[in-house]
Structure 1
Amino acid sequence: MLVLRSSPASPFGRKVKMAALELGLMDRIEIVAADTNDPSEPLRQQNPLGKIPTLVLEDGTTLFDSRVIVDYLDYLAGGRLIPAGEARFQQLRLQALADGISDAALLQVYEGRFRPEEGHNANWLAHQGGKVARGLAALEAEPPAFPDRPRIGEIALACALGYLDLRFEGKWRAAHPKLVGWLDDFAARVPAFEATRFKG
C-alpha cells in the first residue's frame, strides 16, 4: 500500500489525490494526515524538507514534491495524465503556472498565519499577490482547453483556483469570468474535483 502524507486543505495534496482518482489508483493509496509544524512528526524523517505531499512507497522510500508524485502515479497507470511529444511540454508548462499560483497564494496565507499582524510585510504580500494576479490574467486571456479527460495541467489549475476559493473567499472570480466558466465546466466534467474538496 502506498501512503500519501498530506493535509486536506493543501492544493498540492489535492492535485495528487485528483490525479490518483483519475488514474484509478486511489484504492492503492492510504491517506495519512501530516502536521508540518510538529517537530516530532514522522514526516520529517520521510521527507527531509518536512513538506507535503510526500508519498511513501511500499519499500519505505519516499517521493516528493507533488510533480514527482504525479509523474510516478502516471507511470504506474501507463501514462494518461502527462502526454508524449509537444503536448507534454504544454501540460508541464500549465502545471508550472498553476503550481506557481498556488505557491504564491500559500505564501500569503503563511504570512498571515505565522507572523503577528503588526509584523506583516506589505511588500512581500504584494510581491506574492502580483504573481497570482499575473498568472490569472494570462490564463483569463487564454483559458486552456482540455479533452474528455483532464491532464495534469488542467488538474493543477483546478486545484489552484479551488485554493483561491478556499483561502481568499473567491475574490479572484469577479475579474476572471472566463476562468470561472472554465472551472465550472471542469467541476461538472471531473467528479474528482468535488470528491477532493476540503470539507472542514
Structure 2
Amino acid sequence: MRLYHSPASPFVRKVTVLLHELGQTDAVTLKTVTTTALASDEALKTANPLARLPALERDDGITLYDSRVITAYLNDLFNGGFYPQNSSRWETLTLEATGDGMMDSGVAMVYETRLRDAEQVSQAWIDAQWAKIERTLFALNTRWISHLSGPLTMGQISVACALSYLDFRHDTRNWRQGNEALAKWHAGFDSRPSMRATHP
C-alpha cells in the first residue's frame, strides 16, 4: 500500500501514528507530496479527485481518502482495537471528530495567511477559527478528560495530533493556559514512541 504523505499534515500524522501503534509501518510506503489548496499535486489529484491528504492507495488499485476512512480501514485490516465495539464506540468517534475539527480550524488559519495576499487576509475569519479551537479545548479539558485518560483509542490519537499541530503552527497562542489537565494529558501522550517517530 502507498500513503500520499506530507509530514506537516496533522491528518496524515493521525494515520502514521496509528501505523506505529499497530506495528505495521512496513506495510505502507510513504509517498511524500507537496500540495496546497491552490496548487494540487498531479499524482494526488489522480489518486483522490479532492486532492486532499491523506490518501491511501491499496494494492488492489482502489484509493481511500479522508483520514477517518483510512484509520478505520487500517484498524480493521490489522485487527486493531482502536475503535471499540462496545458502548464507548460513540465517544471514540466523537473524540476523533473533535480532534479532526480542531485540525480543520488550525489548518484554515494557516491557509488564510499563506494563500492570500496580505490585503485580503480576514482577521475576523482567523479569530473565528481560533474561537472554535478555544471552545473545544475547554470541552476537552473538562467534559472529555476522563475519556482521554482511558484505554488507547483513535479518539485520543486524533486529539493528540491536533494539539501537537497547535504547537507546531500556533505556538504563540499558548493553548495550555487555562487547560492544565489537558496539557498534562498531552505531555504524557506526546512522549509515546509513535508520536516521537512522527514529529513534523
**Shared fold (TM-score, shorter chain, > 0.5):** yes
- Give the equivalent residue in structure 1 for 2:183: 180
Change (3 A) 1:9 1:39: closer
The alpha carbon displacement at 1:117 in A equals: 1.9
- For residues 1-52 of structure 1, the C-alpha deviation after alignment (integer angstroms, 9 at most, x for no partner) is x101010010000000001111111111101112224455210000000000
- Give the equivalent residue in structure 1 for 2:115: 114
- Give the equivalent residue in structure 2 for 1:95: 96
Alignment of 1:45-194 (within 5 A): 45-142=46-143, 143=145, 144-147=148-151, 150-169=152-171, 171-188=174-191, 190-194=192-196
* TM-score, structure 2 normalization: 0.93
* TM-score, structure 1 normalization: 0.93
The alpha carbon displacement at 1:145 in A equals: 1.5
In 2, distance between residues paired with 1:139 and 1:90? 12
In 2, distance between residues paired with 1:134 and 1:109? 19
How many residues are matched? 194
The alpha carbon displacement at 1:69 in A equals: 0.2
- Structure 1 segments, 4+ long, off by >3 Å, are 37-40
Secondary structure of 2:31's aligned partner:
strand
For structure 2, the residue ranges without an aligned partner over 5 or more in a row are none
In 1, distance between residues paired with 2:103 and 2:86? 26
- Give the equivalent residue in structure 2 for 1:3: 2
* Sequence identity (%): 39
What amino acid does structure 2 have at the position aligned with 1:146? G
